[in-house]
Amino acid sequence: MSRITIYHNPACGTSRNTLAMIRNSGEEPAVVEYLKTPPDRQTLTQLVADSGLPVREMMRRKGTPYDEMGLDEARWSDEQLIDLMHEQPILINRPIVVTPLGTRLCRPSELVLDILPGAQQGALAKEDGELVIDAQGKRVAQP
């Protein structure tokens, strides 16, 4: 069983880049395509708690009914927002990665590097060509 789980959307570049960084550390994560197999409510509640982020920061706005539903309004409790994320997994932001070192919403994708137990194994560029890891497996300084 993998020590790392990624809640992944293969249609998302950030999610694909994050998955590539996990694999570049020598790990093959458990990949949960959360739109096809949403986490249950208890797991979702735990992911939010373990991330240390407010519920709304774990929610996706772009391409979702977030704004049209008025989910920014104070009338929505955290419990109600988690219920909506469970019912409509498109509202879950991605990718969420769980490792022995923590749980993190990896936006931008480089945030995953802080919670990977293993070092990067070699050079890695994002899909857009931006070099993230050099040939020695070291993180490239961002401008």
Tell me the pTM. Answer: 0.94
| 138 alpha carbon, distance to own chain's centre | 22
Report the pLDDT averaged over residues 110-129: 95
Which helix or strand (DSSP H or E) is residue 24 part of?
helix 13-24
The alpha carbon dihedral of 118, 125, 91, 78 has a sign of: positive
**HEC assignment per residue over 52-121:** CCCHHHHECCCCCCCCCCCCCCCCCCHHHHHHHHHHCHHHECCCEEEECCEEEECCCHHHHHHHCCCCCC
Q: Where does the pLDDT of residue 2 fall: very low under 50, low under 70, confident under 90, or very high at 90 and above?
A: confident
Does 17 have pLDDT greater than 90? Answer: yes
Residue 12 a catalytic site member: yes
d(C-alpha 42, C-alpha 136), whole Å: 40
Of 12, 32, 98, 113, which residue is the catalytic one? Answer: 12
The structure tokens listed for 75 are: 């009338």
pLDDT per residue over 34-79, tens digit each? 999 999 999 999 999 999 999 999 999 999 999 999 999 999 999 9
Q: What was the pLDDT predicted at 143?
A: 58
Q: Name all domains of the chain by residue range, CATH numbers in brackets.
A: 5-133 (3.40.30.10)
